[in-house]
Chains A and B, each alone.
Chain A
Amino acid sequence: MTTIDKTAHVPAPRESVSGDGPLLDVRDLHVEFHTRDGVAKAVNGVNYTVSAGETLAVLGESGSGKSVTAQTIMGILDMPPGKITQGEILFRGQDMLKMSNEERRKIRGSKIAMIFQDALSSLNPVLTVGYQLGEMFRVHQGLSKKAAKAKSIELMDQVKIPAAAARISDYPHQFSGGMRQRIMIAMALALEPDLIIADEPTTALDVTVQAQVMDLLAELQREYNMGLILITHDLGVVADVADKIAVMYAGRIVETAPVGELYSRPAHPYTRGLLDSIPRLDQKGQELYAIKGLPPNLTRIPTGCAFSPRCPKAQDICRTEIPPLAPVTEQDGLELVGRGSACHFWKETIHG
């Protein structure tokens, strides 16, 4: 189903405001969980960067470590059982993992904010949405209750909740799923952060509402020139909004690429398998390609390439040596900007 198209259209990256390097730079991050069944290695050396105004999509199945990475960046990882064994998370050049709790508190919410998947369980059911929105202003900016309320109404207007002034004292259960997700977005936006991490923001929503919410998010991102990390497993959503993509598998990034490139010619067998295994809306195919087997157990990650037991192209070297994320080039050696693949045989995968 995937055709190899040499003249792939690559969207131009949005202009970045801060000239000095990326907004967020995650370097060689390792996170593990100590459980009764052993040590689960959830994140095994993740590297990625996000600049202002840029959308990075982190794509992966459940258990690939995409959410754990996000929680580590936010500093909301449960420790214990979680443990960061290695790595740096640089926000505007400063390592957040070395900061004190007080310093991190100042960043969390006002500089980096997060949108969670399930809005109903992320909002407090016994407090009005107005109170919960206003909390951001009261705690971080020390505003009075009255001023915070006025600001909250403004925010609700901004995320296009109809009759914001009337609904400010409603409780979360009185809102529909799409509206609740808007409130989550409003909360994340409250302090105009530089970076938003959206963890499966539309997975629980219907397609019509999903389109509304993703449109809103993209619009607000443009308006504030924010960086956005979009964590999802939906290849369709990614194609619609992302600038660049990092594909994760078993706690590692297996492929990075600009969005157009990834879809037109994947350089990792896992990405290729994923793309081939989704049914298409605009055409009816025959049998779906299925990646055989199951994602690995994180307490017992296979030696070598973690994908090798499921990979149709696996050779002996794949079972012994972990492939590094190598830069991907054209057949004639011309560099492909932003592309990398952690596969011993990326050349064969991308160039046929």
Chain B
Amino acid sequence: MAELKKEQEPVDATPNVSEVETVGAATEAEAVAAIDAPVSQGEPILQVRNLVKHFPLTQGILFKKQIGAVKAVDGISFDLYAGETLGIVGESGCGKSTVAKLLMTLERATAGEVFYKGQDITKLSGRALKAVRRNIQMVFQDPYTSLNPRMTVGDIIGEPFDIHPEVAPKGDRRRRVQELLDVVGLNPEYINRYPHQFSGGQRQRIGIARGLALNPEIIICDEPVSALDVSVQAQVINLMEKLQDEFNLSYVFIAHDLSIVRHISDRVGVMYLGKMAEIGTDTQIYDHPTHPYTQALLSAVPVPDPAAREGRDRIILTGDVPSPANPPSGCRFRTRCWKAEERCATEEPLLAIPERFVAAATPAAHESACHFAEEKDVVHAA
């Protein structure tokens, strides 16, 4: 496990303005090529197979009878490689936070497996589970409610050491906590302060420091920046990217902000109503989406460029997401899809590379769960 580095530059340091401008000036092709360089492939660190979580709906007080189930997560599969960021996007209620809880084994899966280094963690319990959890940590959404207001920052960040004493010997803990504070760009002297003495962005840094305490390999981030202001968001995102490089962390980055997900992710999965609709690299998903839902989602995102106001082809979906307690038959998106035909109601599309793209070497050849998958660039103005 990598030892925490001492020589940290403060994260708040402003990058050179001229540097930022040259980045913008670089040709797009160059930028894409640099980013598309394959991430360390090989054996995935986390393999999720047909993961299912149903929450029972019961009736009656004394004699509870199950009358149905909320199918929050209904059979999703993906791999996570070492050092990569997998973004998961979707509307509220699509099950993305439940996936996070399942990966952390905070919720028990109804069916399916999560393999961490070849070991199915959904079946583990007791000591074995505790050992695995040391390597999978979480950063929560709301930095205001995820830190105990009665504990000092030192206690909050040091608490993981109480549960896993083998990581840091008792006498060494205070020093480790101060190191962690330094790593996330906070003053190590703040160790005795309470959460209310910090701003939202600083609190999220404390949450990240707590996630890093046990030197995990995987960090599950559930909407880590959505509660923060725009100018502070960038600071936290930059910090997370820096920490990833430094400690070779793998992130599962769950968010509803598609722009941020593109920025930080190597691969992106789009969820709809408990299922994965489309998954691929960030370029494949954002520049060459083939699933109608992804296209609608992307086209709905407001682009901070008034010149693009007219040029973009926006797809406005009608209606709301159906209830996960009673999802539509066949393809779950068909009730809001403009391409839906009879086949969509009867036959459920599988998440696979669409047949027409299998042979072709285009970026459209990535997994997409649609019978009528078709490439359409909705992000760039015509």
| B288, chain A: closest CB distance, angstroms | 13
Known: A2-B24, A312-B17. A293 touches B12 (CB 8 A): yes
Known: A11-B306, A285-B31. A215 touches B263 (CB 8 A): no
A79 within 8 A of B: no
Measured CA separation A116–B23 after assembly (Å):
39
Known: A274-B230, A292-B12. A284 touches B316 (CB 8 A): no
Contacting chain A: which of B144-152, B293-301, B353-361? B293-301
Q: Which residues in B have their C-beta under 8 angstroms from that of A284?
A: 31-32, 35, 262-263, 282-283
A275 within 8 A of B: yes
B320 touches A277 (CB 8 A): no
A179 within 8 A of B: yes
Q: Which residues in B have their C-beta under 8 angstroms from that of A61?
A: 229-231
Interface size class of B (residues with CB under 8 A): 35 or more
- Overall SS of chain B's interface: helix
- Chain B residue, CB-CB nearest to A232: B302
Interface size class of A (residues with CB under 8 A): 35 or more
- Chain A residue, CB-CB nearest to B258: A281
Measured CA separation A3–B305 after assembly (Å):
11
Q: Which residues in A have their C-beta under 8 angstroms from that of B320?
A: 176, 178-179, 209
Of listed B92, B262, B263, B282, residue having the most chain A CB within 10 A: B263
B269 within 8 A of A: no
- Overall SS of chain A's interface: loop
| A12, chain B: closest CB distance, angstroms | 13
A289 touches B12 (CB 8 A): no
A290 touches B231 (CB 8 A): yes
- Chain A residue, CB-CB nearest to B10: A292
Beta-carbon contacts under 8 Å, B230-276 to A: 230-235, 237-238, 241, 256, 258-260, 262-264
A283 touches B31 (CB 8 A): yes
Q: Which residues in B have their C-beta under 8 angstroms from that of A287?
A: 15, 23, 238, 241
Partner of A277 from B24, B234, B256, B301 at Cβ < 8 Å: B234
Measured CA separation A118–B260 after assembly (Å):
23
Q: Mark A168-195, 1 if CB is under 8 A from B, else 0.
A: 0000000011110000000000000000
| B163, chain A: closest CB distance, angstroms | 32
A240 within 8 A of B: yes
Beta-carbon contacts under 8 Å, A242-281 to B: 259-260, 263-264, 273-281
Partner of B307 from A176, A260, A288, A291 at Cβ < 8 Å: A260
A281 touches B262 (CB 8 A): yes
Partner of A275 from B282, B300, B304 at Cβ < 8 Å: B304
B116 within 8 A of A: no
Q: Which residues in A have their C-beta under 8 angstroms from that of B231?
A: 61, 273-274, 277, 290-291, 295
B379 touches A281 (CB 8 A): yes
- Chain A residue, CB-CB nearest to B261: A279
| A338, chain B: closest CB distance, angstroms | 14
Q: Which residues in A have their C-beta under 8 angstroms from that of B235?
A: 290-292
| A14, chain B: closest CB distance, angstroms | 14
Q: A281-B258, A292-B13 are in contact. List 16 more A-B contacts (CB 8 A).
A: A61-B229, A61-B230, A206-B256, A211-B314, A211-B317, A236-B259, A260-B306, A277-B234, A279-B263, A279-B264, A280-B263, A281-B262, A281-B298, A284-B262, A290-B15, A290-B238
Q: List 19 A-B contacts (CB under 8 A).
A: A177-B92, A178-B320, A207-B258, A208-B297, A209-B320, A210-B300, A235-B304, A236-B302, A236-B303, A236-B304, A239-B308, A240-B302, A263-B307, A276-B20, A277-B233, A280-B262, A282-B379, A283-B28, A293-B12
A-B pairs with the 3 shortest C-beta distances? Answer: A236-B302, A279-B263, A277-B234
Task: Using CB atoms and an 8 Å cutoff, list the residues of chain B in contact with chain A.
Answer: 12-15, 17, 20, 23-24, 28, 31-32, 35, 91-92, 199, 201-202, 229-235, 237-238, 241, 256, 258-260, 262-264, 282-283, 286, 296-298, 300-309, 314, 316-318, 320, 379-380
